């Protein structure tokens, strides 16, 4: 296939994601004004992409977005770049978003189905899969309209798994990278999908030149899934590449990183300072355990509270001397499983507060309203931060907390978070299913000797700062050039893959034949 004229570094960037970095609304004066979006994906990558003057396409979420979509053009956004929108009819969006993306793919990639009963694929599954396919096709068609300057396409996440193949049909020569922000299901779980959907998903992603993941284990899952499902794919697990048709696809890891500056600026803001003072006054001289998560099944909130209950049960000497501040903004409240989960969490918190609280002391303070400022304020003053997801692509909380914490706070981190590869050695590692281990980690975190706290807190901050979002982007662009023959193979090997103590990357290296 013909090669692009310019290197990826020198080409315009066109990004696609379900939710964009900005949404538009009409203000009182009738002007369209941009509002910053939220969510982990945007937090993680919006900065670097707009610094690169990217064009960003997303599904329209507001009437303002739809007005822009109707123009067929993009609009400029601050600090640099352009935003465009794809207008999806509400019923179609429902099938694509809640139907497939959140109730099927999210659950599969996080291994969250109770397979004895669910899923049970029926005729409706086929209908909402059509919705998913159609929205992916629409996004690809919209991306195609931005083809005038031979751009690099950066397609984001599991909502848009089929976009690379649709875009490849429209532009056989396009340069496409797809990045998965979540985990990727193992073979047994991806095989739960109806076989034609599983194959369409894998082939959809393989329309890209480069498939990016947060951690080695998710990339390997993809390779093994493709090997088992696609007879015409030549899968080289060791070298992390797949040959399909006349194309080669790289399957690589590009761990998302944090830009420290905006976070530190927020932390220094008046609003956050005020909240921090309030929280300090509220907690009095108690030690502070904090968690910050969407109220989401994969975040393992129930077992986190069970562990705190076990800790309080085992350690009466801590009664009255510790507070657990749980900031858990509600999430996906229209999905029944999430409603049930939220109820279960509330009941558990009430039970623990009733069982152990009293005499002016309430062990758990839970807030389910959304406040980024309150989260950043809590980051500043925790003694121990609890991050125990069941599975997590990366986990930004585990990186944000240590960057702004002022207490040399300790971090309890699940071995199943992608961030564990980077931070694991400086944390109190937990198996997220192990309530006893997590309870012991809470005690160890709160009672850690000062010198160890300091050492670990420094290690955490250093590990977070060792990577940055620019590197996340440039590594993908470089691999796009290598796979398309614009740069040499050698430059591919300049970058060391991220090391992990948990995943035994040492052994993985050997298994994968790396030196």
- Per CB under 8 A, does 488 bind its own copies? no
| Contact code string over 209-238 relative to its own copies, x by CB under 8 A | --------x---------xxxxx-xxxxx-
Going by the DSSP 8-state scheme, the letter that residue 105 receives in this structure is I
Tell me how far, at minimum, the Cβ of 180 lies from its own copies, in Å: 15
Report the distance separating Cα 182 and Cα 392, nearest Å.
Answer: 6
- Per CB under 8 A, does 336 bind its own copies? no
Report the distance separating Cα 68 and Cα 90, nearest Å.
Answer: 17
Smaller CB distance to its own copies: residue 87 or 337?
A: 337
Strand partners, 213: 253
Alpha helices in 284-334 (DSSP H): 301-314
Smaller CB distance to its own copies: residue 122 or 451?
A: 122
Smaller CB distance to its own copies: residue 110 or 484?
A: 110
SS (H, E, C) 5-46: CCCHHHCCEEEEECCCCEEEEECCCCCEEEEECCCHHHHHHH
Contact yes or no for 502/421 (Cβ under 8 A):
yes
Tell me how far, at minimum, the Cβ of 35 lies from its own copies, in Å: 33
The H or E element that residue 327 is part of is strand 322-327
Tokens 């944090």 appear where? 258
Tokens of 169: 């049909």
Tell me how far, at minimum, the Cβ of 346 lies from its own copies, in Å: 15
Smaller CB distance to its own copies: residue 51 or 236?
A: 236
- Per CB under 8 A, does 433 bind its own copies? yes
- Per CB under 8 A, does 507 bind its own copies? yes
- Per CB under 8 A, does 341 bind its own copies? yes
Tell me how far, at minimum, the Cβ of 306 lies from its own copies, in Å: 6
Contact yes or no for 374/326 (Cβ under 8 A):
no
Report the distance separating Cα 100 and Cα 93, nearest Å.
Answer: 10
- Per CB under 8 A, does 195 bind its own copies? yes
Range 462-496 burial, b when 16+ CB lie within 10 A, else e: ebbeebbbeebbbbbbbbbbbbbebbeeeebeeee
Instruction: List CB contacts of 87: < 8 A, sequence separation 6 or more.
Output: 60, 65, 66, 69, 70
| Contact code string over 157-186 relative to its own copies, x by CB under 8 A | -----------------------------x
- Per CB under 8 A, does 126 bind its own copies? yes
Tell me how far, at minimum, the Cβ of 502 lies from its own copies, in Å: 9
- Per CB under 8 A, does 30 bind its own copies? no
The H or E element that residue 489 is part of is helix 489-492
Other residues' Cβ atoms within 10 Å of the Cβ of residue 394: 25
- Per CB under 8 A, does 22 bind its own copies? no
| Contact code string over 82-121 relative to its own copies, x by CB under 8 A | -----------------------------xxxxxxx-xxx
Smaller CB distance to its own copies: residue 111 or 367?
A: 111
Report the distance separating Cα 388 and Cα 412, nearest Å.
Answer: 7
Candidate residues 159, 178, 181, 303; the one interacting with its own copies per rule CB under 8 A: 303
Name the one range near its own copies by CB under 8 A: 84-92, 148-156, 430-438, 450-458: 430-438
What residues from 376 to 415 belong to the interface with its own copies (CB under 8 A)?
A: 390-391, 415
What residues from 305 to 334 belong to the interface with its own copies (CB under 8 A)?
A: 306, 310
Beta-sheet pairing, 384-387 with 410-414: parallel
Contact yes or no for 111/390 (Cβ under 8 A):
yes
Smaller CB distance to its own copies: residue 112 or 403?
A: 112
Tell me how far, at minimum, the Cβ of 310 lies from its own copies, in Å: 7
CA nearest to 10, candidates 471, 481, 493, 484: 481
Smaller CB distance to its own copies: residue 112 or 280?
A: 112
Smaller CB distance to its own copies: residue 253 or 310?
A: 310
Tell me how far, at minimum, the Cβ of 501 lies from its own copies, in Å: 9
Angle at 155 between CA 153 and CA 493, to 5 degrees: 75
**What is the binding site for its own copies (CB under 8 A)?**
111-117, 119-123, 125-126, 186-189, 191-195, 217, 227-231, 233-237, 297, 302-303, 306, 310, 337, 341, 344, 390-391, 415-416, 431, 433-437, 503-504, 506-508, 510-511
């Amino acid at each position: 296939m013909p090669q692009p004229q310019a290197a990826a570094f020198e080409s315009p960037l066109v990004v696609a994601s379900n939710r964009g970095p900005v949404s538009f609304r009409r203000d009182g004066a009738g002007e369209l004004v941009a509002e910053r979006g939220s969510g982990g994906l945007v937090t993680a990558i919006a900065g670097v992409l707009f610094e690169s003057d990217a064009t960003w396409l997303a599904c329209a979420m507001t009437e303002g977005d739809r007005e822009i979509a109707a123009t067929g053009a993009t609009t400029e956004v601050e600090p640099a770049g352009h935003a465009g929108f794809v207008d999806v009819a509400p019923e179609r969006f429902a099938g694509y978003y809640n139907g497939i993306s959140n109730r099927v793919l999210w659950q599969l990639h996080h291994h969250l189905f109770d397979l004895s009963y669910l899923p049970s694929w029926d005729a409706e599954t086929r209908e909402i899969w059509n919705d998913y396919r159609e929205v992916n096709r629409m996004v690809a068609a919209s991306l195609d309209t931005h083809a005038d300057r031979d751009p690099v396409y950066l397609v984001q996440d599991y909502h848009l798994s089929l976009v690379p193949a649709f875009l490849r049909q429209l532009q056989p020569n396009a340069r496409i990278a797809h990045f998965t922000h979540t985990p990727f299901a193992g073979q047994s779980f991806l095989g739960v999908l109806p076989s034609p959907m599983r194959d369409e998903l894998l082939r959809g992603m393989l329309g890209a030149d480069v498939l990016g993941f947060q951690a080695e284990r998710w990339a390997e899952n993809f390779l093994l899934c493709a090997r088992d499902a696609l007879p015409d794919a030549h899968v080289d697990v060791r070298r992390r590449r797949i040959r399909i048709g006349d194309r080669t696809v790289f399957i690589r890891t590009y761990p998302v990183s944090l830009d420290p500056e905006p976070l530190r600026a927020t932390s220094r803001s008046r609003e956050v300072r005020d909240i921090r003072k309030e929280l300090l006054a509220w907690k009095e001289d108690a030690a502070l355990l904090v968690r910050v998560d969407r109220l989401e099944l994969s975040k393992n909130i129930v077992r986190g509270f069970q562990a705190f209950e076990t800790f309080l049960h085992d350690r009466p000497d801590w009664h009255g001397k510790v507070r657990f501040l749980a900031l858990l903004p509600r999430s996906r409240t229209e999905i029944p499983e999430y409603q049930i989960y939220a109820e279960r969490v509330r009941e558990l918190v009430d039970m623990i507060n009733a069982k152990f609280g009293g005499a002016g002391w309430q062990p758990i303070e839970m807030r389910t309203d959304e406040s980024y400022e309150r989260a950043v304020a809590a980051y500043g003053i925790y003694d121990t931060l609890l991050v125990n997801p069941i599975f997590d692509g990366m986990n930004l909380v585990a990186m944000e907390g240590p960057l702004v914490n002022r207490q040399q706070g300790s971090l309890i981190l699940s071995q199943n978070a992608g961030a564990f590869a980077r931070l694991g050695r400086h944390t109190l590692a937990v198996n997220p299913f192990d309530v006893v281990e997590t309870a012991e980690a809470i005690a160890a975190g709160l009672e850690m000797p000062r010198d160890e706290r300091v050492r670990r807190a420094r290690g955490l901050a250093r590990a977070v700062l060792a990577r940055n979002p620019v590197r996340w982007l440039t590594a993908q662009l470089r691999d796009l050039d290598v796979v398309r023959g614009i740069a040499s193979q050698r430059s591919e090997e300049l970058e060391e893959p991220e090391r992990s103590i948990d995943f035994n990357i040492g052994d993985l290296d050997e298994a994968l034949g790396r030196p």
